[in-house]
Structure 1
């Protein structure tokens, strides 16, 4: 499914960027969350009271629990009723592929309030305890906390959205084909309000496979880390995530002295603004949005005259993609990705471009990409006519292995002799010379090497200087 951004939906240019508005993907979730520490120091007028609104809400629950005599009485049930966070789909944040927020279901809500009651009764009543609920509750991570925050500050989010819509004249007069509820547009993909957030309050959701959310929070907060080190020391590393949360609940949060000291220190913590496009997934989607806007792939292909072979279509897609990189500052976009993610980002961009090109030009081909640990990077196919593509950046030490062996194995597995090795220059002149010399030598020796397709993604000088 092709990603659709708010600015595409509303046919805007750079207005969101200039105003600091997060341009979310509206037909699925974007991997970010509302960071409380960023919300605490934000400069956006509509959110100046949001942090206190959150603590005020938590404080009400704490008072109810403190006044409650048991987990069956009226005050306890009132606290549980208040703790209701189904999620706010309109902000388009989280990790859901369907766009349906998990939020806090009844089971999880009961679990949190049950533990909060025990914590309050142990002598800790600071409202910030709920900000750190992910540290002591199973199944509570950054995106769920973000849902909780968004629910509490929903009035502020709506006011901010209306303010931006007024500034940019996003209304029924200008957009008669879009449904509005009051002054807020309706997201046709999720059938909910289309809500905006400022970039400055967001942060990236950690990748679960790389690190657990609990360790991320502890790593970012010196105060919490100090308490953990004092309480458990080296044993911490041996614990699984669930055991860590249980330990923190019993030995930090239920220890009023330690909990109070941790919260006092936590209140002084800050976190630097997050650069949204340092998230590789969002960067690729955002870059491709720009490629579409520039019309790079909106060209008539040879197919208007005859049916393209898979190899011809592959070369045509690669040629247009190379032109974007070398002559339309695409190299700047490629180099803006972190070094470790450039190759995967380039593969994903090329995959999106191939699919979009085929759709735009009514070419009946499957442009397939390896989305996981499987073999071939890209494959263009029409029936049994297949062309495999392997992509390597010059920064990849395995570039020769990719050219001589990997692509041959992939071609054999696909039952084809049509291979294209895409070599992307990112600043390794010795390797550039080596791959070109090797390719020339193999051709002169009468071999049948894969077609070498070179893309120069190094910083380009202006045309006049060249």
Structure 2
């Protein structure tokens, strides 16, 4: 995970107004930190941009129709048609679009070959059933646990890259954004795209993406939306319940398996499921802003000064002073949530937003402290067993970890097991566990405090606990 400093928006980098991209219907991406938004192929036909809803859709269907045809005539894995289908199903990362997981400075490596084989096997199973819709690729995240949203998004980006390049080039030409010729793949013709040089010194091309084909998770990877689609169709709901049998409280995994079995029971059912998901798919709503992406842009554009505190710490004196910086960032974040109106950015109507919303807003605040103290902050740093939310570091030895949990989440497990594992992997004694309390914390705080006190009494390492009250409040102007 590369180190991120000073989040940079495309509009900021090229001297534009964010509204320029908004009017064009395009995402204003961060260039040095990826945003967890993904292209959902089910949204392509619904785009308001004809180049996407017509041309890109035609290319998408043509490409995956080719995969379907090849799998139809394939007799065995590894035969000539299978190999040809494999070549069409490239999992190499596409041109940079600033979406997905990671830092936005990725190298463009391919995913494991076994993942591609898994997708091909599932598609072959569906083809053998008799279903032929090329958009079945959209369902792979529903049927296979290892097919994440980034895989579906990147597959789609590669296939519709011609149209994305056209949109990007046209926008840049109209707004005076400098472009350079680049070949997206060996053997391709050169295209004109804007470029960005990252902190690692490498320069990469950027493609812009329409706002109305992105979601926080593609439909087939968001079980809450899938469940809503199932509930809306009685035939699908009854069939899934039939395969769930007598399970009283099925897990998401059990529900997915039941849906998989139901979908593979007949081509008619498979087609009905795909059609239902197409109908209910909707793009990421800026008004709800479930991830806080637009709030983060707002903070970076307008309100950063009021969140800034230029305090200097002697970080060379050891990790204890890195911890002091982290404590100050959390104090500041806590203050603006509890005593200001920042809590509003953590709610979507009457529902708390996802953890990512709090993480992105906290990141904007913490980055100002890191800039003042020449401190590195790595969001979603991988500690060997998965990503910790934040790693603050000054050199190799001075490290502090921060993990955030919503009060409705796995608070006790996160504190007792998960954070401890990350600390061991990172080889640091300093970590802070942050609980965003939306009013449903219950006895979880008492339980993690008991764990902390027990560890301290035994002379063991015990991560700090910070609770931030994010419950709904009256506006600041109405408080006394």
TM-score of Structure 1 vs Structure 2, range by shorter chain:
0.5 to 0.7
Partner in structure 1 of residue 205 of structure 2 = 193
CA–CA distance in 2 between the matches of 1:395 and 1:35?
33
| TM-score normalised according to structure 1 size | 0.64
Runs of at least 5 residues in structure 1 that lack an aligned partner in the other structure: 174-179, 304-309, 376-385, 429-457
- Judge conservation of contact 2:338–2:469 (CA < 8 Å) in 1: no
How far off its partner does 1:248 sit?
5.2
Deviations 1:341-378 (A, max 9, x none): 59996687457535523633779999967424459xxx
CA–CA distance in 1 between the matches of 2:400 and 2:137?
45
CA–CA distance in 2 between the matches of 1:125 and 1:198?
28
User: In 2 relative to 1, CA 55–358 (structure 1 residues): closer, same or farther, beyond 3 Å?
Assistant: closer
- Judge conservation of contact 1:317–1:357 (CA < 8 Å) in 2: yes
Equivalent residue for 1:258, pick from 245, 266, 269:
269
**1:371 and 2:403 aligned:** yes
User: In 2 relative to 1, CA 290–119 (structure 1 residues): closer, same or farther, beyond 3 Å?
Assistant: same
Equivalent residue for 2:62, pick from 30, 48, 56:
56
**1:227 and 2:236 aligned:** yes
Say what the alpha-carbon RMSD is for the aligned residues: 5.3
How far off its partner does 1:54 sit?
1.2
CA–CA distance in 1 between the matches of 2:110 and 2:277?
26
User: In 2 relative to 1, CA 169–104 (structure 1 residues): closer, same or farther, beyond 3 Å?
Assistant: same
Equivalent residue for 1:170, pick from 167, 171, 177:
177
How far off its partner does 1:47 sit?
1.0
How far off its partner does 1:58 sit?
1.5
CA–CA distance in 2 between the matches of 1:73 and 1:393?
56
**1:6 and 2:9 aligned:** yes
Question: How do 1:97-246 and structure 2 match up within 5 A?
Answer: 99=106, 105-171=112-178, 182-186=192-196, 188=198, 191-205=203-217, 213=222, 216-220=225-229, 226-227=235-236, 229-230=238-239, 232-233=241-242, 235=244, 238=247
Runs of at least 5 residues in structure 2 that lack an aligned partner in the other structure: 181-189, 314-320, 376-392, 405-413, 417-429
- Judge conservation of contact 2:229–2:276 (CA < 8 Å) in 1: no
- Judge conservation of contact 1:6–1:23 (CA < 8 Å) in 2: yes
How far off its partner does 1:240 sit?
6.5
- Judge conservation of contact 1:253–1:259 (CA < 8 Å) in 2: yes
Deviations 1:244-279 (A, max 9, x none): 66665565336334334445x448623333214623
User: In 2 relative to 1, CA 345–367 (structure 1 residues): closer, same or farther, beyond 3 Å?
Assistant: farther
- Judge conservation of contact 1:94–1:205 (CA < 8 Å) in 2: no
User: In 2 relative to 1, CA 161–221 (structure 1 residues): closer, same or farther, beyond 3 Å?
Assistant: farther
Deviations 1:177-212 (A, max 9, x none): xxx9733224535743211112211111289xxx97
- 2:59 is paired with a residue whose SS is helix
CA–CA distance in 1 between the matches of 2:47 and 2:370?
44
